[in-house]
Amino acid sequence: MPNRALWTGTLYACAAGLMWGLVFVAPLLLPQYPAVLLSMGRYVAFGLIALPLAWLDRVRLRELRRADWLEALKLSAVGNLLYYLCLSAAIQRAGGPLPTMIIGTLPVVIALVSNRRDALRDGRMPWRRLAPSLVLIAAGIGCVNQAEWQQLSRAGPVDLVRYATGALLAIGAVACWTWYPIRNADWLRHHADRSPSTWATAQGLATGPLAAIGLALYGLYQSVEPGPDHTGLLGPTPQLFLGLMLAIGLFASWLGTLCWNQASQRLPTSLVGQLIVFETLSALAYAFVLRGHLPPLLSLAGVALLVTGVLWALRERPEQPPVAAAHPS
């Protein structure tokens, strides 16, 4: 792999991670908003932002076939709507750091899956060389989980069911976002002549209508069965809600997807997946900034273990498959 492609792809993945870290902020700033409203609101904003971009890019968008639009729809449903629905609900139930650290396993989970699935295309990583990074990341998650549990215990009785549900939802988010980058990379690698920005806009156009339908169904449900704290579709702080949704829709959804597409076209899936660690680190930083204090030493130790584990995995290079010997005619 040329060094220029490696470093350019790494910079794009870093930029995507920094912007994706913002998506962990909204559930913390809007705890009274249900996860479904946060998910649908974010992607309605993504769809609206994609409309003027689609007009500017209309020539290249017309080149996409029906199969391409169906793929964009699948990616949007799983990697956008379902993923953020699980993540928002997890953060509201278990706090910010634990779901963030569970999401932090994505680099190695994606590497493991793509190592098995894409070995013929990208090369194979021997499992024994991945084992140390897996152990380090598991230890890091354990440290942060213990630190969060101690903080919750000091604050009062812990709702164990709510906390465990948050962890399970975060695992569901990991499953969604393991599937998404691998399928997304497949499309980008098979369509190397297509623009990553066009593909990002296409996903916005596919996501917007899905989110709008979900938002309409949620509004209909609220009108039929209003809860005790029902304050309308935009909630109790509509200006903050709208501002956050537009900001996340622009930076995290469209621009983050664009940067990720650029990285996915340049790097093997197992490598670009590991670089999502930048999202975990930025999300943890944002969460502790909102709390207004430094993380405890146990959390810092967990972060250090996570970073060490991912760097360990990152330094390994897949073994290229042997080239079959040519048979004489």
How far from each other are the two terminal CA atoms of the chain, in whole angstroms? 33
Contact between 207 and 81 under an 8 Å Cβ cutoff? The reply is yes
Contacts 24+ apart (CB under 8 A), 249-252: 249/42, 249/43, 249/44, 249/45, 249/46, 249/48, 249/49, 250/45, 250/49, 251/19, 251/22, 252/19, 252/20, 252/22, 252/23, 252/42
Q: Which residue matches tokens 């273990």?
A: 305
Which residues in the chain land under pLDDT 50? 324-329
* The pLDDT of residue 328: 46
Q: Which residues of 68-98 are buried (b: 16+ CB within 10 A; e: fewer)?
A: beebbbebbbbbbbbbbbbbbbbbbbbbbbb
Quick one: residue 58, left, alpha or beta (phi over 0 = left, psi -120 to 50 = alpha)?
alpha
For 229-273, write each residue's pLDDT tens digit. Answer: 556 678 888 999 999 999 999 998 889 988 988 988 888 776 777
* The pLDDT of residue 319: 65
* The pLDDT of residue 63: 93
- What are the boundaries of each domain within the chain? 3-315
For 7-22, write each residue's pLDDT tens digit. Answer: 888 889 889 989 988 8
* The pLDDT of residue 228: 56
Q: Which residue matches tokens 């996409």?
A: 64
Is the sign of the CA dihedral 203, 209, 210, 212 positive or negative? positive
* The pLDDT of residue 303: 85
Give DSSP secondary structure letters for 223-288: HHS--TT---TT-S-HHHHHHHHHHHIIIIIIIHHHHHHHHHHHS-HHHHHHTTHHHHHHHHHHHH
Residue in 306, 248, 316 with CA at minimum distance from that of residue 277? 306
Residue in 83, 3, 91 with CA at minimum distance from that of residue 46? 83
How many residues in total does the chain contain?
329
* The pLDDT of residue 326: 43
